Amino acid sequence: MMAAIGLAACTLATPPQRQWTVPVPTSTPVPTPVSLNRTLDERVLQAELQALFVALYERASSSVVHITTRTQVFDFFRGIVPNEGTGSGFFVDAAGHIVTNYHVIAGADEIEVILADEMRLPARVVGADAYTDLAVLVAEGIRPEQIRPLPIGDSTALRVGMIVAAIGNPFGLDRTMTTGVVSALGRTIEREDGGVIGEVIQTDAAINPGNSGGPLLNLQGEVVGVNTSIRSPSGGSVGIGFAVPARTLQRVVPELIAKGRYDHPWLGISAYEITDELARLLKLPVRRGLLIAQVQPGAAAERAGVRGAKQRVFTRSGAVLLVGGDILVALDDRPIATRDQMTIYLENNKRVGETVVLSLIRDGQPLTLTATLTARP
């Protein structure tokens, strides 16, 4: 398709007649060597960038594995039938541990990994965590020379616009590489169970079904994220993909290897998100924060002295509100307005056994308490 070229129109006015006017010749611009140099520089840059991507793929692709899973599902007409899924993973250490997404292996009866040399090996789950959508596998019978771990990079150093590459097995096409940029940082995405994953990387590198669990790499070949999901009306890539950041991987994966699980820090409260309407209805002293309705027995909040609701209030619509409890407005001096903000802050900044400072309002007066975080049941 040819692009239409528009010409700007101009109006020519007839100049007034003058006698003895000597026309001044118009000088012709002389091309300078700059344009030639720029062309040469661009060619050199393109060649260097191309060589960089080729080297990146050759170095990293052998560390990526193709994961297939099999489950037994019930069909009304055929009874119990096998169902197969596919995903990606990558070696993370010299011991042969493979990182992938939790949703790739969730509920699987059999797991198989296909290595770069096409060898197929059965695999077992070492540890898994649904909240961060991470899991660790190990392949049975793998040889040391087949293990090529990828280095883990610093995802906190990422900036929007940085070039990244994704390697995985979209639609079963082994070790496919796509490239793009970091489109946004600090995104929040919703899991299938309704929970959220926070501080996620958004990229326009093409991510499709089968890419899940594969690495998102910087130009140094370091893992900066684990590709986990896409947002698409069609089910295929439209340039909106998400990856769990390497910072989360570095925190969670060692625990999965050591204990098979990751203990999530937990305050143990149920709360309403304060809106303008709720603040007016209950005559609250603040317009944003969490109105604590219930405090779980034995949890961090109860041990710190946080108070839940004192009474019930019926709204005009017939809904029941538990009111009179403390209002949580900040964690470690960071304002908190939603339950997701509370959960994401604790997940990304705290561990079980660490303390967090709670900024509360009780009976209209500010109050500060320190809670030692317990593990979520």
CB-based contact 158:100 (threshold 8 Å):
no
Cα–Cα distance, 232 to 64 (Å, whole number)? 25
What's the pLDDT at 195?
73
Domain extents in the chain: 62-145, 155-259, 265-375
103 labelled catalytic: yes
Options 63, 66, 129, 133, the catalytic residue: 133
Taking every pair of Cα atoms in the chain, the longest distance, rounded to a whole number of angstroms, is: 104
Options 63, 155, 183, 212, the catalytic residue: 212
Neighbours of 312 (CB within 10 A): 11
Cα–Cα distance, 221 to 152 (Å, whole number)? 9
Nearest to 89 by CA among 163, 148, 156: 148
What's the pLDDT at 172?
82
The DSSP secondary-structure symbol of 335 reads E
Cα–Cα distance, 46 to 48 (Å, whole number)? 5
- pTM for this predicted structure: 0.81
CB-based contact 171:142 (threshold 8 Å):
no
What's the pLDDT at 166?
96
CATH T-level fold of 62-145: Thrombin, subunit H (2.40.10)
Cα–Cα distance, 183 to 197 (Å, whole number)? 17
pLDDT digits (tens, 9 = 90+) for 225-254: 999 987 866 666 678 999 999 999 999 999
pLDDT digits (tens, 9 = 90+) for 332-356: 999 999 999 999 999 999 999 999 9
CB-based contact 338:273 (threshold 8 Å):
yes
What's the pLDDT at 114?
96
**For the chain, what is the total number of helices (H) and then of strands (E)?**
6, 22
What's the pLDDT at 208?
87
Cα–Cα distance, 158 to 224 (Å, whole number)? 8
Both tokens assigned to 223: 């893992």
62-145 matches 265-375 in fold: no
Nearest to 180 by CA among 150, 151, 211: 211
CATH T-level fold of 155-259: Thrombin, subunit H (2.40.10)
97 labelled catalytic: no
What's the pLDDT at 209?
87
What's phi and psi for 102, nearest 5 deg? -60, -40
Report DSSP letters for 142-197, one per residue: --GGG--PPPB--GGG--TT-EEEEEE-GGG-TTEEEEEEEEEEEEEEE-TTS-EE
Instruction: Please name every residue paired with 176 in a beta bridge, in sequence order, or none if there are none.
Output: 168
226, 248, 276, 277, 321 from 282: Cα distances, Å: 44, 39, 10, 9, 10
Cα–Cα distance, 152 to 43 (Å, whole number)? 32
**Lookup result for tokens 């203990």:** 263
Options 63, 66, 88, 103, the catalytic residue: 103
Both tokens assigned to 42: 């661009």
Cα–Cα distance, 377 to 343 (Å, whole number)? 14
Residues of the chain with pLDDT under 70: 1-40, 75-79, 81, 192-194, 232-237, 316
CATH T-level fold of 265-375: Pdz3 Domain (2.30.42)
Q: Indicate the length of the chain as a whole number.
A: 377
363 labelled catalytic: no
Cα–Cα distance, 161 to 153 (Å, whole number)? 17
Cα–Cα distance, 14 to 202 (Å, whole number)? 59
CB-based contact 267:292 (threshold 8 Å):
no
Reduce the DSSP state of residue 57 to 3 states and report it. helix
